[in-house]
Structures are given as C-alpha cells and as structure tokens.
Amino acid sequence: MVDRIKNRYRKLVYLTWFLTLDLIMFGAFVRLTDSGLGCPDWPGCYGKLSPIGASEHIAEAYAAMPHGAVSFPKAWIEMIHRYVGSLLGLMIIGIVFMAWRHRKVLGNSPRLAIVTLIAVCVQGAFGAWTVTHQLMPIIVTTHLLGGMGLLALMTWLAAREKAHPAVTAQSSAYLPWMGLGLVLLFIQIALGGWVSTNYAALACMDFPTCHGEWMPPMDFHNGFSLIRGLGELPSGEVISQQALTAIHWVHRNFAFVVFAFVGTLAWILRRDQGLRGPATLLLALLVAQLFTGLTTIFFEWPLLIAVLHNGGAAGMVLVSVTLIVRLYRASRAKISA
C-alpha cells in the first residue's frame, strides 16, 4: 500500500512537471503567433466555453479587421492554452491533496506543494490580466517569469522523488554560486520577455554590432518604462526605434554575462561525477541558446526557432534547479556528517 501511494504520487508529479514544460512552450507559441487576444475576454471566448459557440462574434471581428488580433485559428490557440492551464491547476491541486493526506508515507513536508499551488493561482491571475490589459508588456513579461518560476518549483518537487548520484562535500561550496547563476538566468529571461512583448527582436539586424555600431543611438528611459501599453510610450506616443534598439541591445549583451558566468560554473561542476550529467546539459543548452538567438536575427525571427529559444531558456531553468537540488543535498549531508 505504501509503495502504491508513493508510485502514484511520483507519477502525478512527473506528469505535471512535463505538462508545465509543455505549457511554457505553448505559451511562447501563443505569444509569437499574436494569439494572446484571439479571445479578447476571459475566461471564456466572447462569453462562451469555446470558439465554436463564439463563431459569430469571431467572424464579425475578423471581417472588420482581417489582420487584427481575432481570427478562428488564434481563438483556438488561445483557448487551448487556457484549457491546458486549467488542467495543470487541477493536477497541482491533486498533488497538494496527496502531499498533505499522505505526508507521513511520502516522508516530505507538503509546504513545497502548497507554494506551487499558490504560484499556479497567481499565474492564472496574470494570464487573465494579460487579456484584460490588452497585452501590456509588463503583465506579459511577468506572466512569462511566473511560468518559469512554476517550472522551477515543479522541478524541485520532481527532483525530491528521484534518487541522484552522490555529490562530493567539496562541490557543495558552489551552491551559492549556482543560486546566483539562476538569478542571472531569470534576469536574462525577463529581458528576453521584454524583447518579445515589445516586438524588439528585429530591432538590430546585424551582429555583433547593432546598426553597424557597438553603441547605436538608444533610448533606455522609454525602452524600459514599465507602466505603458503595447507599442506605446508612457505619454501614449508610438514607441521609438531607439527605444526598441535599447531593449534588444541590453538583452543581447547581458546574454554574454550569463554565458560566461553560467558556462564557467557548469564547466567546473562537470568535475564532480554526481553533477556531470546536468552540468554538461547546461553547457549544451547555453550553446544552443546562442545559436537560436543568432538564428533569430539572421533569419528574421522564424516561429520555430523563436519557440525553441524560449524552450531552451526553460530547459536551462530546469537543469539549474536540478543542480541546486543536488548541491543542497550535498550541503545538508556535509552539515550532518
């Protein structure tokens, strides 16, 4: 009976973790296909449960503006994202229920599961605000960060259910550095989200320079003004090319900071047999991110590459949290010894 409960809980956690990763990838697809307002209300679509019931409203909106935010494909993309998000919330409720009810059998506190449930509720709220605030960049970027944070929590939950190779006590000293690496990674993800939500991916079409200069004319003040509408300045004017250039330039150059710091750390952690697998994968993901980032520029932001770039960031969060969990266990074992 005990083994059956543990096995069911483990399978539920792993499946929910996988669905979280998939939802992040699909969320990128929603954003990059401009489907975020495919159904301009929430939680339904023109007050209906699906685009089928809202077909008349969608047809009218499409006829009035064929190249606008509303169409049947975009409505389905947006609603499928909401359906999967709702399913994810229900699965996390199931995890909390099992974690609380069987806490003695599972041998872990249910606190982490409860925090994850709170996180998915907050994430759902930001999903609603993304629509009701008309894709306001700060809301969309925060929604992206929330998704990555939820993935980090689910990775932590999943890592607790799996036995990991032993990590040496000496390697545990790198735990704070790996934590800093994760913070830098989240900053870079926020900058990347800001690029995407402001449609600044093609603001610089050359590399390594931008508009043929190392420091092109840029408007940092307006580019990083947080409280404003999509495509607007705080004054309501259309956002300038110099502001878009500033957004792109900061994301591009901070990537080198992350690459150098996280790459060096991953290379060092590879020396420990218990960390070699995820550390090597982290290095591979760093190289892949550099490749997809450059490809996005040179091929003018193809959808598949852009989605893969977002997925690569999610993969780096996943692997970084895995390394942190293993280092944390080694640190606890060192203290107990």
Q: Where are the alpha helices (H) located in the chain, listed in sequence order?
A: 2-32, 55-64, 72-101, 103-106, 111-132, 137-160, 175-197, 220-223, 241-269, 276-298, 303-336
Interacting residues of 158 by C-beta distance below 8 A, sequence separation 6+: 13, 14, 17
Interacting residues of 213 by C-beta distance below 8 A, sequence separation 6+: none
56 is catalytic: no
256: nearest Cα among 223, 233, 290, 222: 290
Q: Choose, from 56, 78, 161, 213, the residue flagged as catalytic.
A: 78
Interacting residues of 242 by C-beta distance below 8 A, sequence separation 6+: 217, 218, 219, 223
DSSP three-state, residue 213: strand
Largest CA distance in the chain: 71
Task: Give the Cα separation of 142 and 150 in Å (integer).
Answer: 12
Task: Give the Cα separation of 91 and 68 in Å (integer).
Answer: 35
Q: Say if residue 43 is preceded by a cis peptide, omega within 30 of 0.
A: yes
Length of the chain: 337
Which of the residues are catalytic?
78
